[in-house]
Chain A
Amino acid sequence: MSDGSASKAEAFSLDALRSGDRAEFSRLVDAYSGKLYRLGLKMLNNPQDAEDILQEAFLKAYRGIRNFDGRSSLSTWLYRIVINEALMNLRRKQPDAVSIDEPDDSDQEDSEPLQIVDWCCLPEDELMSAEVKSRLDAAIQRLPPRLRAVFLLREMDDLSTAETAAALNLTETAVKTRLSRARMRLREELSAYFSERMGGQAYGSKSAL
């Protein structure tokens, strides 16, 4: 899935950026600060922290751009810096949170889906309510940081599997596995919520008659 993000970044002159052209860097900041700030907010759930890592990330980018090797796209490189800042921020705040560093791929598997309720037929205003949004946001916050990072880059920022793998230093298989687990967890959450709303009726298993 290639969206415009890579080509957008490539619209910048790497030579100008590498030689410290401040006007060009300003354009880069304006092109990406919205996406990177939103990513920080979703990773850290705190506007002040999101602002801090946004500043740190662009400072690092400014200093590091001379050594940017161009192996990944500029946008992937920026996402990578922001995610690293976010993970460091979380690590500082929750030094005991193993989940940040755990390899987290296959060993400790999620249980299979528990909620088998077909809520797809609910009316649109029930599916898209403010309450659903807050449930969803809370569920995203409960994802372990490394699942959350994969989920946000793929679903929110539309990075491809390959770009996400490059940004997070993961294999593409690991990206797919984590994305799958994150999605399934959110599906469980929403299913639990909607099944309550539907009064515990298992619509899906009702007979057609």
Chain B
Amino acid sequence: MDQKAHCKNLLLAISDYVDGALADDLCRELERHLAECQNCRVVVDTLRKTIDIVHEMQEPAVVPGDVRRRLFRRLDLSEFAAPELRPGDRCPKCQAGILDYDGMLNLACDQCGFTLSGCFT
């Protein structure tokens, strides 16, 4: 097999190789090839870097508040659309106190006494 065809075959394996998902024998073969083929080494290195950049530049997985509101409305679930409150959150009623569990496992505001009952996990 000439050098070019050889490179081409191995290129198909490179993606698996950078994932660490290449079978042992193919992996050894690829590494033997990389030891003597500068071009393929550059492809492997720049492919790895490309994947790093993709991960590094990823947007956060958030749904904007208005999109979420419309989604809940469309699903007829608006009554469940209130943001989930947790201990330590600011009280939604007086905006001054901080919510914490009371003795009955309700979330209660330490300022205005606003209480949310239910099971918070």
Contacts and interface: CB of A to CB of B under 8 A. Distances in A.
Nearest to A33: B63
B25 to A, nearest CB: 17
Given A55-B70, A116-B43, A118-B42, A155 B53 contact: no
B32 interface: no
B94 to A, nearest CB: 25
B49 A37 contact: no
Given A22-B77, A113-B43, A118-B45, A156 B58 contact: yes
A: interface residue count bin? 35 or more
B46 A119 contact: yes
B51 A155 contact: yes
Contacts of B42: 116-118, 204
State the majority secondary structure of interface residues on A: helix
B: interface residue count bin? 35 or more
Contact of A176 (B15, B55, B74): B15
Interface in A104-160: 112-113, 115-120, 127-128, 132-133, 136, 155-156
A29 B72 contact: yes
A26 interface: yes
Interface string A179-209: 1100110110011000000000000110000
Contacts of A115: 46
A151 B12 CA distance: 16
B53 A33 contact: no
A188 to B, nearest CB: 9
A161 B21 CA distance: 10
Interface of A: 22-23, 25-26, 29-30, 33-35, 37-38, 41, 47, 51, 54-55, 58-59, 62, 112-113, 115-120, 127-128, 132-133, 136, 155-156, 161, 176-177, 179-180, 183-184, 186-187, 190-191, 204-205
The 8 closest A-B pairs by CB, nearest first: A180-B15, A26-B80, A34-B61, A35-B61, A37-B63, A187-B50, A33-B63, A204-B42
Given A33-B71, A183-B50, A184-B11, 10 more contacts: A25-B77, A26-B77, A33-B63, A34-B63, A38-B61, A51-B71, A55-B71, A59-B75, A112-B11, A155-B51
